[in-house]
Amino acid sequence: MTGLLVGAVFGAVFVVVNAHGPLGPVTANLLRAAACLAAAGVLAMWFRAVRAERPAAAGRRGMFGPGYLAVVVVEAVLLFGGLRVLAALGRPEEGNVAWVAFVVGVHFVALAPIWKDWSIAVPGVALTLLGAGGLVLAATAAVAWVPVVSGVLSGVVLLAGSLTLGLRGTARAAA
């Protein structure tokens, strides 16, 4: 559930920060409110799961081992290095969110075999594609739509995945 909570928080941040521009103010505010409610729902599921699993967690192997750390280090280098490269090439600032979505998506795909959980590869592929699409859009007259495509839609993917997996896990625990 901790991974789902992290995904939901980042998903909400993606939506809240990027819901603007070509979207009307009413649509942007509705998206922001829905994202915050979805993240709050995942947070509530996280608290329930932590309370229920605390005794069982003692013997479980951690998710944050050497493989995870290697992926995160590579991710950080790619994120910050890539943003500097985009700036040095004079690319539009809107492309930054596309690069972030692309790298975060690749990070999920890389973690799937390490965690032996292929369900995280699905949002990973979606974010990678949304990031790549945003990078392409950033080179066109549709650059104003990059935050919507790579930011808002990536956030929606993260929130939907977190909610879906959280509800599925909660239902299994109740059964």
Question: Binning pLDDT at 50, 70 and 90, where does residue 61 land?
Answer: low
The answer to whether 86 and 95 have CB atoms below 8 angstroms apart is yes
Query: Is residue 36 within a helix (H) or strand (E), and if so which, with residue range?
Result: helix 25-53
Looking at the chain, the whole-number percentage of residues with pLDDT higher than 90 is: 74
Question: Binning pLDDT at 50, 70 and 90, where does residue 59 land?
Answer: very low
pLDDT value for 112: 93
More confident residue, 14 or 53: 14
Above 90 in pLDDT, residue 4?
Answer: no
Q: What separation in angstroms does the CA of 155 have from each of 50, 98, 102, 135?
A: 24, 12, 12, 17
pLDDT digits (tens, 9 = 90+) for 94-141: 999 999 999 999 999 999 999 898 888 999 999 999 999 999 999 999
Q: What separation in angstroms does the CA of 21 have from each of 25, 55, 98, 145, 170?
A: 9, 48, 15, 8, 37
Mean of the per-residue pLDDT values of the chain: 90
- Domain range for 144 is 2-174
pLDDT value for 169: 78
How many domains, in total, are found in the chain?
A: 1
The answer to whether 41 and 167 have CB atoms below 8 angstroms apart is no
Burial class (CB in 10 A: 0-12, 13-18, 19+), 58: exposed
